Amino acid sequence: ITTTRGNADVVIVGGGQSALTVAYFLRRTPLSVVILDNGEGPGGAWVHGWDSLRLFSPAQWSSLPGWGMPTTEGYPTRDDIVSYLAQYEKRYDFSVKRPVTVTDILRENDGFTVHTDQGLWRARAVVSTTGTWSHPFIPTYPGQSTFAGLQIHSSQYRNAAAFVGKRVLVVGGGNSGAQILAEVSGVAKTTWVTQTEPVFLPDDVDGRVLFERATAKWKAQQEGRLLQDPPGGLGDVVMVEPVKLARERGVLHAVHPFLAFTDSGVIWQDGSRTVFDAVIWCTGFRPALQHLTSLNIVDADGKVALSGTQSVEVPGLWFVGYGEWTGFASATLVGGMRYAKATALELAQVLITRPSVSQ
């Protein structure tokens, strides 16, 4: 028998920045909101960031609505952002249940049952904000399982200590790849493999330019204009200090992908071989949507068809965060705000005209 833990108008699955932003915009409505998060504490994916991770924009560009992130010297650190998110959810007194893992969501009458490892919640609407961190992506290469060295994904990387004096292959050309390469190359002999030539932003701009691009795209979309895609995207490498230093040391050079693994390294396209002790996969993430298996709405790319931020096939289910498919830059602190707000507005429009299930 599954224990019923409660009823709410809105259950938000996941308790990172996207969840908090949606909850913020719902707090002036009469709707009851419960956040179910499987983290041990507040902070979402930021808790798992590497030790030296810093945001790529200053605090005022890394803030959620209502209460801004306290300014810091330089760009905020991983711990600054975790502490900010912890204070934020306390400040607004959101109802966050942790650790609770949502395992399944089923439709029931005109609402949902949300199944978890702690029992069942009933909701009139669900917002999924589970992010991507728990679903790392690693491409497959021939011979990969025979490689005897260490393989980790960037989601497991904490610091360079395990790589001192080693020969390390860093795979992936985004910001994670560039930053981890920059750090590890200080203590190890590194080779950097990227699918295409990495795009570096000019030295004098930071992550703000990425938000400006996202805003330009959003405005064009609102006005029904076709915007010539501005060059680059969120994957462009921001020249944070450690990356600049790596460039000065002459290690910020990417090479084309290899063909296959051997038991001690890789074979390149020209047939030559290199020995490696370790591989760090900075190859990104996929949406963490395992809780939607029964609803059967996740496509082969791991995404869901949306109208705005609402599921086309399952009305009453919204998505915030994840990546461009839910909105331009929607998985960033500032970029997610407009989509969280739009979601809260729609939720209010749909739910407040109907009677509440919670008694």
Separation of CA 43 from chain center: 12
- Judged by CB under 6 A, which of 32, 129, 185, 194 binds ligand FAD? 129
Q: How far is CA 16 from the centre of its chain?
A: 9
Closest Cα partner for 321 from 298, 290, 287, 296?
A: 287
Q: Rg for the chain (alpha carbons), in Å?
A: 22
Among 188, 239, 331, 351, binds ligand FAD (CB under 6 A): 331
Rounded distance between C-alpha atoms, residue 177 and residue 167, angstroms? 16
Helical ranges in 264-321 per DSSP H: none
Q: Which stretch binds ligand FAD (CB under 6 A): 56-64, 258-266, 293-301, 307-315?
A: 56-64
Stretch that binds ligand FAD, among 216-224, 272-280, 307-315, 328-336 (CB under 6 A): 328-336
CA distances from residue 167 to 21, 133, 191, 266, 282 in whole angstroms, order as listed: 42, 27, 8, 12, 16
Q: Which of 321, 328, 339, 348 binds ligand FAD (CB under 6 A)?
A: 321
CA 283/CA 139 separation, integer angstroms: 7
Distance, in Å, from the CA atom of 315 to the CA atom of 124, rounded to the nearest integer, reads 11
Q: Does 254 bind ligand FAD (CB under 6 A)?
A: no
Q: Cβ 12 to ligand FAD, closest distance in Å? A: 9
Q: Residue 287, interface with ligand FAD (CB under 6 A)?
A: no
Q: Could you tell me the smallest distance in angstroms from the CB atom of residue 18 to ligand FAD? A: 3
Instruction: Give the distance from CA 349 to its chain's centroid.
Output: 28
Cα 70 from Cα 150, distance rounded (Å): 39
DSSP alpha helix (H) spans, the chain? 17-26, 78-91, 175-184, 208-222, 241-248, 337-352
Is residue 291 a contact point for ligand FAD (CB under 6 A)? yes
Question: Which residue lies nearer to ligand FAD by CB, 23 or 254?
Answer: 23
Residue 121 carries which side chain, given as an amino acid letter?
Answer: W
Which of residues 24, 25, 46, 147 is near ligand FAD by CB under 6 A? 46
- How far is residue 137's CA from residue 285's CA, in Å, rounded to a whole number? 5
Instruction: Between 62 and 343, name the residue whose CB sits nearer to ligand FAD.
Output: 62
- Quote the CA–CA distance of 81 and 73 in Å, as a whole number: 13
Nearer to ligand FAD, 54 or 124 (CB): 54
Q: Report in angstroms how near the CB of residue 324 gets to ligand FAD at its nearest.
A: 12
Q: Is residue 45 close enough to count as binding ligand FAD by CB under 6 A?
A: yes
Cβ 32 to ligand FAD shortest distance, Å: 19
As measured in angstroms, the least distance from the Cβ of 176 to ligand FAD is 5
The 3-state DSSP class for residue 190 equals strand
Q: How many CB atoms lie within 10 A of CB 299?
A: 9
* 36 counts as binding ligand FAD under rule CB under 6 A: yes
**From candidates 10, 31, 38, 121, binder to ligand FAD by CB under 6 A:** 38
Question: For the window 172-191, what string marks contact with ligand FAD as x by the rule CB under 6 A?
Answer: ----x---------------
Ranges within 4-33 binding ligand FAD (CB under 6 A): 13-19
Q: Per the omega criterion (within 30 degrees of 0), is the bond before 30 cis?
A: no
Q: List the interface residues with ligand FAD, window 73-102 (CB under 6 A).
A: 101-102
- Total binding residues toward ligand FAD, as defined by CB under 6 A: 35
Residue 113 interacting with ligand FAD (CB under 6 A): no
Residues contributing to the site for ligand FAD (CB under 6 A): 13-19, 36-39, 44-46, 53, 55-57, 62, 101-102, 129-131, 133-134, 176, 207, 288, 291, 321, 331-334
